[in-house]
Structure 1
Amino acid sequence: MAGAGAGAVMCYSPSPSSPSSITTTPTCMLTITNRLPCSRFLSPHGKSYLKQRYQRPVYVPFSRIYAIFWGPKRTAVSHETELSLGEFVLTGSGAEGGDSANKTKPQKVLISVASSISEISPKDWDACAEEATGLENYNPFLTHGFLSSLEESGSSVKETGWFPQHIIAQDEFKNILGVVPLYLKSHSFGEFVFDHSWADAYYSYGSRYYPKLQCCVPFTPVTGQRMLIRNMWYKDQVFDKLVWALKHLTAKLQVSSVHVTFPSETEWHQMRGHGFLQRIGMQYHWKNRNYKNFDEFLMDMKQSKRKNIRQERKKIAAQNITMKRLRGDEIKARHWDTFYKFYRNTTDNKWGRVYLTREFFHIMGEKMGDKVLLVVAEDGDELVAGALNLIGGDTIYGRLWGCLPDAYYPSLHFEACYYQAIESAIELNLNTVEAGAQGEHKIQRGYLPVTTYSSHYISDEGFRRVIGDFLVRETDQVKQVMQILHDSSPFKDGIHQSDDA
């Protein structure tokens, strides 16, 4: 989960009629609290790189948007914006191909903002997502079902610092041409691409980093399309207008930046031409080399690694633990209630933040159906641990893990999260298992590093230049680390599991 970051407090006066409402005035003063050291910007001499390179004072005019921080569940953001962002005329004859959205040739693209995904029909949203990726690359996290589960459950809403600002492109006939999952954010939690030091640097120079715009799937470090556009002859024009809308909304709301996290590699390259800074990261994925079973996968590994995995799996049977993989209707309400306890135990033990509500699991399970794979461990008749996965077109996505408080079962985490997912991918003939962010221990279990991407548009030119310089050096470091990790691969010589290998 995302780590802690800098917090900001703005002066406010509660409304007498509502203790939770906030009012702001032009006399608000910015106070920095819980400031993290700007360690990622340190020079070899220990001085802040930003302080060396960014010397001019920053004057920031008051915006219509205010982010107020005083702890979890009480972050509030108020905004004032028009729903319409603009109208554009399409160019070209359309002779290159057909139009899947409608039979009448459109002339215009209209861009607007929706403050809830419920304002967009599931049919239209999912048509954009499916045509953007293709069914073979179906991504469950981009569906209306998953994103609406986050909003309906109170997980990604204004009150938690995730104010939906989804961008919609439609033609003059009201046909939805493209959508973008977007949030106005008052913090940097739940993103998995860390910019807390950037916020700290802003505050050090008297500027305001929050609120910011975040284009992503909340709490989900999974690569996927971010510009969800239907397969039309003018889709490139729609892409350009949606990227323009991100930048235009940043200026319109007078926020510091917009961040597109875990986009596809193609989008990442395209957005560079629109003035976005490029950043890379690293995750650990398992690749299926047309294995017929788990033992065949093991035979591709070095002898010592193969032996270690077999010993870990034997420990599960020795503890009389039964592993089950449940999908769709097999997952009952009691399973979700128990899994929520597991989830809370994980966040409590790891000093994490509770992003998801109990209701989220019930709503998501109902909406996503057999796209959900819940691995559970039973000790007798008792559920003692579980791992939540979602199934895509060619990938199993491992998301969350947890167990009962004070429970200790050696190797159970590896079995539930990694080996069961591998077995499932082999059985379902899927190409990849994505095991989430972080964790070098995954390498010895067959998951190798792959590159992830993010794009960042910084409004202030001075900060944009300095952060851009920082990202160049960070990219070199990430590439070096990835090469070192690949060199310690657990696979036999000549066997490459990763797309980046």
Structure 2
Amino acid sequence: MPIQTLSRLADLNPASWDALLPSAQPFVRHAFLSALEDSGSVGAGTGWQPEHRLLRDARGELLAALPLYRKRHSYGEYVFDWAWADACQRAGIAYYPKLLCAVPFSPVHGARLLGDLSAHGAMLDELTETLPGLGISGLHLNFTDAAADAVLSGRAGWLERIGCQFHWHNRGYRDFQDFLDALASRKRKQLRKEREQVALQGVEFDWLGGDQLSEAQWDFVYACYANTYQVRGQAPYLTRTFFSLLAERMPQAIRVVLARQHGRPVAMAFSLTDGEVLYGRYWGCLGEFDRLHFETCFYQGIEQAIAAGWQRFDAGAQGEHKLIRGFEPLITRSWHYLAHPGLRAAVAEFLTQERAGVQAYAEAARQALPYRQAD
């Protein structure tokens, strides 16, 4: 059966796509990915050109799919291959375009091979065989789940890359104080002091679902989000329209915490949830406030996760500042097929060395966790 290419998810029945998903995680749902496309956050002029691959059975029913993009740069991926691209340029090898199976702008591990896993081996083999003829340097899968890892492990030509994130785990805490009681005394005092510093500035917080925010509040959310890029002289990845479309298409997954000082909104953190995990994604502040980032992005999320009974809080990329606040190291995986044999051999050698460093870093981080040692 031939593999089809789909350039617009809007052309596919949302129920057909979502029926392939193994969990309720929001990031590969039709609503999320189509909102990126329909809002112009991905597509023409962004360097993220949708080229999703579909496989149907003999009756025409959707059997398997890959959320796939033709990339002309490496922005917004969070698995950094800029050094590979630079090496190719020096060697006279074209690194772009490349094909990427991932969720744009979202370093969240989860399902990438959607639907019947038994069909994906053949799909991947067919894709890699056609890369040279299409003028594409490679195929990459970022932040994969265990199911994709099993398909790709040991598969000819594929290289595994690991990374390290930091996630908070809910171990049945009754409330935030119960969580604090699990920490060593010095760390417990530090977290309590940081929260007190925010409260003394007169800052209060409101949690809202996706169907509870007005368009004016979404304007504020976007202004905060965009400001985090503009202060670095960069353009934001997402458009304002994306947030309105997402609120319309999957409001039940959205959680926004708004920070107010004397009734005036000053900061926000935007998250998604699948009912088991809280995924912190974007934050922004329109002023200077001591320790407000830690409170808005971490402590509010932990408190909300405890209250809702969510099992995990994934607060995004980056790390050490999360470690001392109880977020634990987690190994993430991505997979890379590079068509040029010389490039593949060089990257394989690099990844062997990098793997040892990442594993050592994760172990050192685990030893530095702030939890009390058992007596």
- Relative to the length of structure 2, the TM-score reads 0.96
2:17 — aligned with what? 125
Task: Tell me, yes or no, if the aligned pair for 2:161 and 2:335 is still in contact at 8 Å.
Answer: yes
Task: Tell me, yes or no, if the aligned pair for 2:144 and 2:333 is still in contact at 8 Å.
Answer: yes
1:314 — aligned with what? 196
SS in 1 for 2:211: helix
Are 2:332 and 1:435 equivalent residues in the alignment?
Answer: no
Deviation at 1:420, TM superposition (A): 1.0
Distance 2:130 2:179 in 1: 48
SS in 2 for 1:492: coil
Equivalent of 1:293 in 156, 170, 175: 175
Deviation at 1:351, TM superposition (A): 4.3
Q: CA deviation digits over 1:222-244, x for unaligned, max 9?
A: 00010111xxxxx3431222322
Structure showing greater radius of gyration is: 1
2:141 — aligned with what? 260
1:24 — aligned with what? none
Task: Report % sequence identity.
Answer: 39
Correspondence 1:15-54 to 2 at 5 A: none
Task: Tell me, yes or no, if the aligned pair for 1:265 and 1:453 is still in contact at 8 Å.
Answer: no
Q: CA deviation digits over 1:352-374, x for unaligned, max 9?
A: 44111111111112211121000
Deviation at 1:379, TM superposition (A): 1.5
Q: CA deviation digits over 1:165-218, x for unaligned, max 9?
A: 101111121111111100001000000000001011111111100000010000
Distance 2:219 2:106 in 1: 21
Question: For structure 2, which runs of at least 5 residues remain unmatched after alignment?
Answer: none
User: Counterpart of 1:289 in structure 2: which amino acid?
Assistant: R
Distance 1:306 1:478 in 2: 28
User: Counterpart of 1:325 in structure 2: which amino acid?
Assistant: W
2:103 — aligned with what? 217
Q: CA deviation digits over 1:128-155, x for unaligned, max 9?
A: 11xx23xxxx210010000011001101
Distance 1:272 1:250 in 2: 20
1:362 — aligned with what? 244
Are 2:262 and 1:411 equivalent residues in the alignment?
Answer: no
Task: Tell me, yes or no, if the aligned pair for 2:226 and 2:235 is still in contact at 8 Å.
Answer: no
Task: Tell me, yes or no, if the aligned pair for 2:39 and 2:239 is still in contact at 8 Å.
Answer: yes
2:340 — aligned with what? 460
Are 2:40 and 1:165 equivalent residues in the alignment?
Answer: no
C-alpha RMSD over aligned residues: 1.4
Task: Tell me, yes or no, if the aligned pair for 2:121 and 2:151 is still in contact at 8 Å.
Answer: no
SS in 1 for 2:3: strand
Task: Tell me, yes or no, if the aligned pair for 1:158 and 1:164 is still in contact at 8 Å.
Answer: no
Task: Tell me, yes or no, if the aligned pair for 1:250 and 1:256 is still in contact at 8 Å.
Answer: yes
User: Counterpart of 1:472 in structure 2: which amino acid?
Assistant: T
Equivalent of 2:68 in 182, 189, 199: 182
Deviation at 1:250, TM superposition (A): 2.3
Question: For structure 1, which runs of at least 5 residues remain unmatched after alignment?
Answer: 1-86, 88-109, 230-234, 496-501
1:250 — aligned with what? 131
1:305 — aligned with what? 187
State how many pairs are aligned: 374
Distance 2:110 2:374 in 1: 29
1:391 — aligned with what? 273
1:11 — aligned with what? none
- Residues 272 and 352 (structure 1 numbering): CA distance in 2 closer, same or farther, change over 3 Å? farther
Task: Tell me, yes or no, if the aligned pair for 2:71 and 2:100 is still in contact at 8 Å.
Answer: yes
Distance 1:393 1:167 in 2: 29
SS in 2 for 1:445: coil
User: Counterpart of 2:96 in structure 1: which amino acid?
Assistant: Y
Distance 2:198 2:370 in 1: 22
2:94 — aligned with what? 208
Deviation at 1:113, TM superposition (A): 0.8
Task: Tell me, yes or no, if the aligned pair for 1:374 and 1:386 is still in contact at 8 Å.
Answer: yes
Distance 1:349 1:226 in 2: 33
Task: Tell me, yes or no, if the aligned pair for 2:76 and 2:105 is still in contact at 8 Å.
Answer: yes
Equivalent of 1:426 in 287, 303, 306: 306
Distance 2:275 2:16 in 1: 19
Deviation at 1:385, TM superposition (A): 0.2
Deviation at 1:430, TM superposition (A): 1.1
Correspondence 1:9-158 to 2 at 5 A: 87=1, 110-129=2-21, 132-133=22-23, 138-158=24-44
Are 2:338 and 1:446 equivalent residues in the alignment?
Answer: no
Distance 2:18 2:45 in 1: 26
Task: Tell me, yes or no, if the aligned pair for 1:227 and 1:242 is still in contact at 8 Å.
Answer: no
2:227 — aligned with what? 345
Report which stretch shifted further, 339-348 or 182-191.
339-348
Q: CA deviation digits over 1:93-136, x for unaligned, max 9?
A: xxxxxxxxxxxxxxxxx42110111122110111111xx23xxx
Deviation at 1:246, TM superposition (A): 3.3
Distance 1:173 1:351 in 2: 51
Specify which structure has the bigger relative contact order, considering alpha-carbon pairs within 8 angstroms and separated by 6 or more residues: 2
1:483 — aligned with what? 363
Task: Tell me, yes or no, if the aligned pair for 2:97 and 2:135 is still in contact at 8 Å.
Answer: no
Distance 1:245 1:183 in 2: 16
Distance 2:238 2:126 in 1: 29
Distance 1:281 1:269 in 2: 17
Task: Tell me, yes or no, if the aligned pair for 1:243 and 1:271 is still in contact at 8 Å.
Answer: no
Distance 1:249 1:430 in 2: 43
Larger % of helix: which? 2
User: Counterpart of 2:100 in structure 1: which amino acid?
Assistant: Q
Deviation at 1:494, TM superposition (A): 4.2
User: Counterpart of 2:40 in structure 1: which amino acid?
Assistant: G
User: Counterpart of 1:169 in structure 2: which amino acid?
Assistant: L
Report which stretch shifted further, 257-266 or 243-252.
243-252
